[in-house]
Structure 1
Amino acid sequence: MVFHVFALTIFAYMIPKYKDYFGVREEAIAALKFGLTGNAIYFLVYVVIGHQMDAFTKALVFVMSSLGVVFSVIMIPTWWVLRKQYPSIESHLRKVNAHILGLFVRQAHNPTLSFHLTDTPLPDLFNLLKDAKGFDLFMEHLFSGSLLYVNIKFASENLLCYLELCQYRAIAKQKWKEKSDMDVMDPLGDNFVLSAELPQSSIVNHNQLSDEQKAIALIDKYIATGAQYEVNLPYDMRMDFMKLLHLNHPRYPRHLFQQQRNEKQNTQNNPFEQMAPSNFVFLFDPVLKELFQLMRQAYSRFRTTIAYHNYVERVHPAQP
């Protein structure tokens, strides 16, 4: 028993909180608390004062004590969070002139506030991610565990993939512009342009790799089935990118290879050889659009945080 408690304690605190994507650390700590509390109650009821009660009374005291402890463990942290955040919540409600009525929030009409919000456009998600500070704040929000209310959790892999694919797109676009000596007609404009102050991808900025090798490395890292940092993509989209892998690649879908052989297609062709330089620029656009849609679900809640409002006040300071 002592060994298991000791092992669980070491396991819980060996996991860094910022890397605990699935909440294993918090689950282990919670299990440890409940286990130790249950043992303490059992010892108290059945050993210390057990000789003074009959079997039914012992069971009743044990169950009620356990329920009381579980309720306290759950509600005490909630009470401290509410106690800490209440001044911020109250200040925000006064700022937007809102009143809480039961489960609903009613916002009173305020011409001055409406005029201020109309004249000062709030940064959308594209502009937020272009700014290094905004990107960092949004990343902290994603890692903070506040996405428990979102149906599909935005995993850290999706954000890292978005970062590297945007950088790949920017470099491929710059190469195309230098080779063609003409402006690039990009229908998406600068939507997927990120700040140069953000961490740079070791794959994208590897000067010894060609655009094809970089694309294969990114597919193998994020998109292929069983990838180390596999992102959540539709099946058809994932298969389209996996078809770009070489036939001898370990992640190449074998059922596609057999299908090509049955249809007597040439399986020796390299799909990248048929691509124009502009194709490398727009290669990962479907993935970026899919990841962006996932981020928008988290962004809507990020806009309700104190960190976001402080960021807006820094970027768009209120006019006196």
Structure 2
Amino acid sequence: MTAEEYQEDILDHMEHMEAETMPDVNSIDIQTEIQWFMRPYLLDFLVEAHAAFQLLPETLFLAVNLLDRYCSRRVVYKRHYQLVGCAALLIAAKYGDRKERVPTVRELKSMCCSLYDDEMFTQMEWHVLQTLNWVIGHPTVDSFLQIALSEVTYDAEVEHMAWYISEIALFHKEFVSVRPSVLARSALALARCVLSRSQARQSEWAGTYDPVVVLNLSNHLYQPSQVLSRKYASMHLSAVSTTVEEFLQRQAQIARRNITPPTPPALENQKPDADGYLTPSTPQKSHYDAVMQHGCLTPPITPDNEFGASNFAKNVLPRLYPVTPTSAPQEAPQQQPQQYSYQPYLQPRLAQ
């Protein structure tokens, strides 16, 4: 039997194992000293150490998984957070990497600026293994990516882009609880979208990705870790971080083009009003340049106003200024003079 015939059984076992070895985000939330904002600083250190020792990609994913699983079960002090990360990287390298590339305690101590003694590294390594009951194996994102990429023709740029997106997800809390199988398919779908590659068919295992996870991953492409961006800017990793920056710039230009309304064309041969007089904003029949002596616009000559030809026939002079319309004056009724009758004045007689 070939490996393809065992692939379905292998996937079933890997998906079972990933469910058994997932960290608990709620338990990490109740840590008293370490906080989520400290995570990017520790991961920057682990990414640099991982690149310096030239370890395999799956070693980094396994080290972060061991770190999160330990923090889910033990109280970690802030001063020991980096020490736990170094112990997790050391265990992951011993578990799956080549022996000549496994870092020594002295090298890790030097990278930590001699903050911890040699015995502290050994004690923490032993304590992590005891806490996890010596269950180290964990199906990483990289292992699921290898299965998904085996179904199509190998494309190194797509693989490097999927690695880059998957490592960006390590820095954010919302992806800690996402299973590696789901994260691998979603990162691969986003990588193909960025590189304008054709997507996998829905009938294939790689084509059953989670669109919500793809959207969340795309939202975190704008501000990646500077350490991670420099790592994937090298040519042996296809300079995929530079490709992502160019892709985001093109998307921003398209978004601005769709949002910004077109600028209306400038009116040609538009003459300014004479003497800087501001015309009213009400609609006008036409534009007139004639201005009276006192600065008022000459009204248009139409048969309806007092400047029509009929007014000249009546010898009515036009008004210089518009006045408030009033009713026509009416003649007051003439009052009739009152007639008074004069009676002669009779002097009264005196009684005799």
Range of TM-score over shorter length? under 0.3
TM-score by length of 2: 0.20
**Structure with greater proportional helix content:** 1
State TM-score, norm by structure 1: 0.21
Flag the structure with larger Rg. 2
Whose RCO is larger (CA < 8 A, sep 6+)? Answer: 1
